[in-house]
Each structure stands twice: as structure tokens, then as C-alpha cells.
A and B are shown apart, each in its own frame.
Chain A
Amino acid sequence: MAVTLTDSVLKDIHRRMVRIRRFEETAGKMMENGKIPGALHLYVGEEAVASGVMVHLSNQDQITSTHRGHGHLIAKGGAFDRMFAELYGKATGYCKGKGGSMHISNLEVGMLGANGIVGGGPPIAMGAGFSNKFRKTKNVACCFFGDGASNEGSFHEAANMAGLYKLPVIFVCENNGYGEYTPQRNHQAIVDVADRAAGYGMPGVVVDGMDAVAVYEAAGEAIARARAGEGPTLLECKTYRYYDHVGVRGMGLTYRTDDELAEWKKRDPIELFESRLQEQKIMSAAEIKAVHDETLAEIDAAIQFAESSPFPDASAILEDVYA
């Protein structure tokens, strides 16, 4: 049941990317205006990765995410209204307001949570992959993690076990060149995180993470391998985050240059994709605009839903601690 790159799949990838971009732009503004409490780590710039991978997955396939998790949930089928409600800390949010941005999740679509712990995801994805195999399903678990997270022991233990047990796990490294404010050259002695795959007996693949089709193709191969029982793959997507580590402007540190940002923006994943769709006459400019407009309208409605939703009652504090 491999997915082939039909026009409708291309449109699907496009819509997922636009949905992430628009959601994140809005959420970022709301955080900076103080409307959303806490810290948001925004996914703007990296949309091709989540979208190119997730289009292969069903609700029975699982993912684990990161602190930068909204994009993963959106691409996996998260609903804006429940997401905004969660970011607001409302009772109608996906986690009843208990998780917020860093723990946003929806198990119904197989999303095993954003994670406040860098490197929190890989062991969980490995366990989900084990479960898929143990329960004799053909489902896969995709683990999203950053270049910075690839330095946590948890990643290495999970990768080793996934390789050893030939688990249906795809380790998707979103290499955006930085862990917080530290450039990759100052946090690891390699250039390609994919090189680490060799140590765990799995293929390591490097792909242009700004090109959703390239991600789609490489992910498709890895997922097919996993579904066929051939074990895990480490798929490294080279990408970039447009905003600061936290929020939009963040702390205003000068740890990277405007030129570098501008260079990456020239290869904006959505613009690249939209020009390709138009060149290939798959979508017209008007159709593309309609996707953006529909998304924006849905965001407005979602914010309305979130704002009119109640906050959880104090009694909820002690609920959900145990089954």
C-alpha cells in the first residue's frame, strides 16, 4: 500500500505545509502578544519534512515529536480548534490544558506527543515500533528529532535497539543546523547525522529537507522497508528554522546571520512547491490561494473556539494522574 506521487498526493502535501505555516505564524504572533502562555517552539521553515513524511502514514502509524511539535501534529491530522484550545490552556484542548505546546498530542491520529525533553522521542518511537511488530501489524513508528537531540544517549540506545530487533521505525532527523543557539559544528564532530546509522546497522539517508518531494520519496522508501520487516532507517532532512529557537524573535541573540536566513528562505519549501505545482499545471495560482484562504478561515474559527472554551476547573489538577 505504498503511496505514489499522484496529483492528489502533491496537493495533499501542499495543504499540510500551508496548514503548518499559517498555524505557526498565527501562534507565534499570539505568543509574542501574550495571548498564549508559556513557550512555543515554532516549525516555520521545516514544513516539508513533516508533510513529506506524514503523507505516507495512517492514523495507526505512530509518530513521536519534539518540543517543536505543532507541525508534526498538524501534518498527522491534528485539528486546529483542539490545538489552539490546548495552547490557550483550555479544557477543550487535546490534553485538557494539561500539556500545552510542549506536550501537545492526539493519540487518535497516532501522535505520541510533543516532548519537553530533547531526545525524549526516540526511545518511545522504538517502543511503538516494537509494539507494531509484537502485535503483528504492518504499522510503522516515525521518530522526529533534531540535530541537537542526536547527541543524547537516548537516541543512541533507541537506534541500537531498533537496529538490533529490526523494528519498523524511521528516525527522521530534522537537521536545522542548530541546537538552540549552538551551531552544529560546535555540538558534534560530523556533518551528516545520517552517518550515525552505520553504527546501528541501518541505512542512513541524507535528503534536502526544503524539498517536500525529495522528503516524500526518501521517506516512502524507508517506510516501505519498515513495513516489509526490513528494519529501521535514519533519514536526515537538512532544513532550517526561520524563527528563533523560542517564539518569533526569541532572545534576539546574534548567533546566526541575516544572510544565512535569507539564503535558506530562497529555497522556501512552500514557495518551491507552489511554483512546481504551477509549472506542472497541477494547481493554479487561484487554487493555491484558496488553500491559504481556507486555512486562514479555519484558524479564525479555531481561535474563536479556543477563546470561548472554558478553562479547566481546579479539581482537574488531581485527575488523570493514574488510570
Chain B
Amino acid sequence: MAEAVATPVANKARTLTYVAAINEAVRIVLQEQPNSFVAGEDVGGAGGVYGYYHGLQKEFGADRVFDTPISEEGIIGLGVGAGATGCRPVIDLMFMDFMGECMDEIANQLAKMRYMFGGRATLPVTVLTMAGAGASLAAQHSQSLEAWLCHLPGVKIAMACDPYDAKGLIISAARDDNPVFVVLNKMSLAMKGEVPEGAYTVPLGKAKIVRPGTNYTIVSWGRMVHECKAAAEKLKAFGIDAEVIDPRTLQPLDLPAVIQSVKKTHRCMIVHEAVRFGGFGGEIASQIQELAFDYLDAPVARVGAPFSPVPFSPALEKHYVPNADSIVAGVKAQLGL
């Protein structure tokens, strides 16, 4: 069930950027787990291309925070082999788009080893990676590919929408005994938010009601959560009081939280940055109609990116990525407003 408000176990919240929250989380993981290490391209000397790992190599040494060659299949494989044999790897896969280079290690090894071995293998591997369009980085550096991962029994997928969640989800992921992808968003790196000091977790599989509402439900994750909040404000003009729910993890998925909300509001939309067709929104929509059909007053709507690669030109990209206005337009279309 969803938490109405976040309940940090740690104390003293300060304002941190998303990047600083990531950094703090990884530092805590390295402190509390002696068998953990961070491996990835430019994570050591450079501290990560966006600064996630700044200062960590100095603090923990080059044995535990190290640069790898540009060999994604090797890097994920390092995580699989080391994870299966007593380490707790934290692997940096710089851009989510680069999953193309290492999908066999992800899909056929990391995700399946435990099952194939009759439950004997344990793979406590955390993969940090980055999604998101909006920076004019074109088709191979802008994708939101969480649906690829959602189709893989054996991995968990967390989507961090803000600094608080980024830190708490990374700590949860690293403490979990399963492969967990924590998907970060490149347009949120400078975003600031309250982050408690010390260790706390955002539990995997527990949705958050980001904005309570009474007569409409919007389910969204990652950076789109903020667009949905803005859309919810605009929707007030149409008599819509939207509840915005962020599942925070797509696997495990907190369906009860979504269903509970839909049973209350009777209308629902799923919003994601990923391509709409074949996106994870389709799975949630289907689950809703299976579990709450009689409660629905309108077909479940979805907003996502058009069915094309991410265009480079800012003139195209601004229409490509969903935003508060296109979400409002989607709601109006759904309800015939």
C-alpha cells in the first residue's frame, strides 16, 4: 500500500541535488558493505561523467571504485560473476541506451541465473543507469528503456524521480539480494530536494502518493512525475482533482496502491517518458481493467512518447517528450472535455 508521506528513518534533512544524493547513497553502500565495489566507465578518476562518484575513489581506494574499459558486456558480466561469488557489485552503466551492448549479460545471465540454478545462486548486483530525453542528445543517448527490463523476470527496476528517492532507492537496491536497476534521469541531475543525512531506504515495491486527489488517478514515474504534478494543478480548472501516484519501482509493482486509488477516483491515466506503444503503461492499464473494471468510468488513458526514435532537433524534441500540457490534453481527450 502507498505511503501518504515519506517516513525517513534517518534524521536531519538538508537540501541536496540529485547528483549529491546519488553520491551520498553510493558512499553509504561502500561503507556498510565491505564486499561492495563500484565499477564502470570513468567512475574512478573522473568520478563519473556526471559526478555521481565524485571523491569516492579517493575515499575508498582504486580497488573498490575503479574505471573499466569501454566494454559494457564485460562490465555487466563482471557484476554477474562477482555477484554470484560473494561480492555486492555496484555497476555504472552510464546511459541506459548502452544496454544494447550488454543485453545478453542482463537478460540471459543476470536475470536468469538464480532461476536456472534452482535458486542456488544469489546476485546482489546494483546497476545505476540514466534515462531521459530533453538534452538534445539524440536517438542513442536519450531513451527511456525501462520496458526492456520489465519484461525480464529476475530483475527489479527502480525509477528515481527526485533526490530523496534516488538516495533511498540506491541504498535499498544495494541491500537487496537481487539484481536491481536504479534508473536515473539526466534532466533531473541538478534538481534539488530534501534529503536526510545518513542511511535510509525507499522500499522496493511501495508506491508513493505524490499528490493526493479525489476524482482522477495519474500513475507515473521518473521525471514525468513532476510533469504530472504540474498537470494536476492545471486540471483543477476542469474540476479534476488528480491523485498522482509514483510506483517508484516497476518490478516489484505496487498494484494494490494503484487499484485502491482507481476504485476511489474511477478514472485513470498512465504517463511515461518512454515510447507509448509497447511501453510499461500498457501493462498497468491492462492490470487495472482486470482488477477494477467495474469501477472505471472511462477507458484507461496513456501518455507517452510518439512511436519514433528520439529526434535531435530541439524543435522536434520539445514535442516529443510528454509534458504537463500534453498530459492535460490527454486527459481532455479521454474525458471528452
Contact = CB atoms under 8 A, between A and B. Distances in A.
Interface of A: 37-39, 89-90, 95, 97-103, 115-120, 148-149, 151-154, 179-182, 186-188, 251, 253, 255, 311-312, 314, 316-318, 321
B312 A321 contact: no
Nearest to A86: B312
A187 to B, nearest CB: 4
Interface in B18-69: 41-42, 45-46, 49, 67-69
B148 interface: no
25 contacts: A89-B314, A89-B315, A97-B312, A97-B316, A98-B312, A100-B138, A100-B312, A101-B138, A116-B137, A117-B100, A118-B70, A119-B101, A120-B140, A148-B70, A149-B70, A151-B71, A153-B73, A154-B101, A179-B41, A181-B42, A181-B46, A187-B70, A312-B315, A316-B311, A317-B311
B295 interface: no
Nearest to A321: B308
Given A99-B312, A119-B101, A182-B67, 5 more contacts: A39-B141, A101-B138, A116-B139, A153-B101, A182-B45
The list of the 6 closest CB pairs from A to B, nearest first, reads: A89-B313, A100-B312, A116-B140, A97-B313, A311-B315, A38-B136
Contacts of A90: 313
Nearest to B102: A153
A101 to B, nearest CB: 8
B306 interface: yes
B319 interface: yes
A317 B308 contact: yes
A151 B312 contact: no
Given A117-B100, A321-B307, A152 B70 contact: yes
Given A102-B138, A317-B320, A186 B312 contact: no
Nearest to B70: A148
Interface of B: 41-42, 45-46, 49, 67-74, 97-98, 100-101, 135-141, 306-309, 311-316, 319-320
Contacts, number: 131
A182 B42 contact: yes
Contact of A312 (B67, B97, B308, B313): B313
Nearest to B305: A317
B70 A119 contact: yes
B46 A116 contact: no
Contacts of A95: 312
Given A180-B46, A181-B42, A182-B41, A98 B136 contact: no
Given A151-B71, A181-B45, A39 B315 contact: no
A179 B69 contact: yes
With a 10 A CB-CB cut-off, give which of B41, B311, B312, B315 has the most chain A CB atoms: B312
B133 to A, nearest CB: 11
Contacts of B69: 148, 151, 179, 187-188
B179 to A, nearest CB: 21
A314 B41 CA distance: 36
Contacts of A181: 42, 45-46
Given A119-B70, A182-B46, A103 B139 contact: yes
A180 B42 contact: yes
A99 B313 CA distance: 8
Contacts of A314: 315-316, 319
A187 B67 contact: yes
Contacts of A103: 138-140, 312
Nearest to A37: B136
Nearest to A95: B312
With a 10 A CB-CB cut-off, give which of A99, A152, A255, A317 has the most chain B CB atoms: A317
B70 A97 contact: no
Nearest to A255: B45
A115 to B, nearest CB: 8
Contacts of A312: 311, 313, 315-316
A101 B136 CA distance: 10
Nearest to A319: B308
Contact of A38 (B98, B135, B307): B135
Contact of A180 (B49, B100, B308, B312): B49
